[in-house]
Amino acid sequence: MRLAGRKALITGAARGIGLGCAKLMAEHGCDVVITDIEIDEANRAASQVSSHPAIELDVTSGPAWEAAIEHAGDLMNGINVLINNAGIIIPGTVENLDEAGWDRTMDVDLKSVYLGCRAALPVLARSAPASIVNIASISSMIASPNFAAYNAAKAGVHMLTKSVALHAARTYSDVRCNSIHPAFVDTDMVDQVTRSDDREVNTRKLARQIPLGRIATVEDVAWAVVYLASNESSFMTGSELKLDGGVSAM
Ligand SMILES: NC(=O)c1ccc[n+]([C@@H]2O[C@H](COP(=O)([O-])OP(=O)(O)OC[C@H]3O[C@@H](n4cnc5c(N)ncnc54)[C@H](O)[C@@H]3O)[C@@H](O)[C@H]2O)c1
C-alpha cells in the first residue's frame, strides 16, 4: 500500500504504459482516474482497475483539461498525483517530416504537459503532498535521425519538468514534479518505429540495441511511477529518472 491516500489522474491510460501504471498504482492503494482520447477503450480499462468511469481527455485541448481536472477532482474528492503519459511518435527526419507531423507531435507530446500542469497545479496543491510525473523518453537525451519531432518534444518535456518543479517549490507547499525517461517499452508504440508488423520480430530487433538485452516492460516503468508518486521520493523534484537498460551509459 505504497500509495494509500493518493488520488491520481493518468492521461493516455487506455492501454500501454498508462494502463500498466494505473494497474500497479491501484494495487498499491491509489485511487485512479483513467483518461484517454479513446473513451471506449478507456472505459474498458477503467472497469479493470478503478471504481470510477474513465474521462475523455484530448490532452491537446486546454478547455478539455480544465473540465477533466474538475471532473476527476469531484470523483476522487481531490487530486494529488498527475501522470502526464499520453504521447505519440511520428517518425521522420528533419527533411521528410511534414509540418503537420511536427505540429501534432509538439501538441500531443509537449504542449499537453504544459496544459496539464497549468490546469492541475492549484488543485494538486489543495491535496498536497502532491506529485506530477511526466513520461518523457530517453529520446530527450539521445537523438535518432528519424525522430526529429519526437526528440525535440521529449527534450522539451525534460526541461519543462524542471521549470514546473521550481515554480511549484516556491509557490506551493510540497508539490513535486519529475520526469521518467524510458528506452523502448513493449507497447503498440514500438510497432510504429520498426518496419515489421510482427511485435516479436520488432522487440528482438530493438533489444539488440540495449545493453541489458531486452526492451522494457510497462511494469518497469510503472514501478518508477509508483516511487515518484509516493512519499518515498519526497526530496526529489526537478529530477529525471532514466530507465534505459544501460543505453545512455554507452
Ligand atoms: N513505448 C515506448 O517505447 C516508449 C518509450 C519511451 C517513452 N514512451 C512514452 O510513454 C508514453 C506512453 O506511450 P505507450 O508506449 O504506452 O504508447 P501507446 O501508443 O501504447 O499508448 C498511448 C496512449 O495515448 C493515447 N493518446 C494519444 N493521443 C492522445 C491525445 N491527444 N490525448 C489523450 N490521449 C492520447 C492513446 O489513445 C493511447 O491510449 C508516451 O508519452 C511515449 O512517448 C514510450
CATH number at residue 48: 3.40.50.720
Residue 220 grid coordinates? 518497469
Distance from Cα 206 to the centre of ligand 1, integer Å: 18
Instruction: Say if 250 falls within a structural domain.
Output: no
Q: Per the domain annotation, does 104 fall within a domain?
A: yes
Q: Is 182 contained in some domain? A: yes
Report pLDDT for 192. 85
Distances in Å between the Cα of 175 and the Cα atoms of 118, 130, 184, 233 are 13, 5, 29, 12
Alpha-carbon distances of 42 from 14, 219, 240, rounded to whole Å: 4, 19, 28
Q: Assess if residue 229 is contained within a domain.
A: yes
> Each residue of 193-246: pLDDT tens digit?
887 788 888 899 999 999 999 999 999 999 999 999 999 999 999 999 999 999
Nearest atom in ligand 1 to the alpha carbon of residue 108 is: 31
**194 located within any domain:** no
CA nearest ligand 1 atom 1, residue:
185
pLDDT for position 52: 98
- Mutual orientation of helices 218-229 and 16-27 as an angle, nearest 10°? 50
pLDDT at 198: 87
Cβ of residue 15 lying under 6 Å from some atom of ligand 1: yes
Lowest-confidence region among 28-32, 112-116, 137-141, 186-190: 186-190
Above pLDDT 70, what percent of the chain? 100
pLDDT for 202 equals 87
> E-strand spans in 24-165?
31-36, 55-56, 81-84, 130-135
The DSSP code for 145 is: T
Mean pLDDT of 149-162: 99
Query: Using an 8 Å Cβ cutoff, are 41 and 34 in contact?
Result: no
- Work out the average pLDDT over 119-131: 98
Domain residue limits at 160: 7-188+218-238
Atom of ligand 1 nearest to the CA of 216: 3
Q: Looking at the domain assignment, is residue 197 inside a domain?
A: no
Cα 79 → chain centroid:
16
Q: Per the domain annotation, does 28 fall within a domain?
A: yes
Mean residue pLDDT across the chain: 97
Tens digits of residue pLDDT in 164-196: 999 999 999 999 999 999 999 999 998 888 877
For residue 182, the model assigns a pLDDT of: 98
Q: Tell me what pLDDT residue 160 has.
A: 99
**Catalytic-labelled residue, pool 114, 150, 172, 227:** 150
Average pLDDT score over residue span 88-99: 98
185 C-beta closer than 6 A to ligand 1: yes
CA neighbours closer than 13 Å in the CB half-sphere of residue 242: 11
Task: Give the whole-angstrom CA distance, residue 138 versus residue 10.
Answer: 20
Q: What interhelical angle do 112-126 and 62-76 show, nearest 10?
A: 30
The answer to whether position 86 is within a domain reads yes
| Number of structural domains in the chain | 1
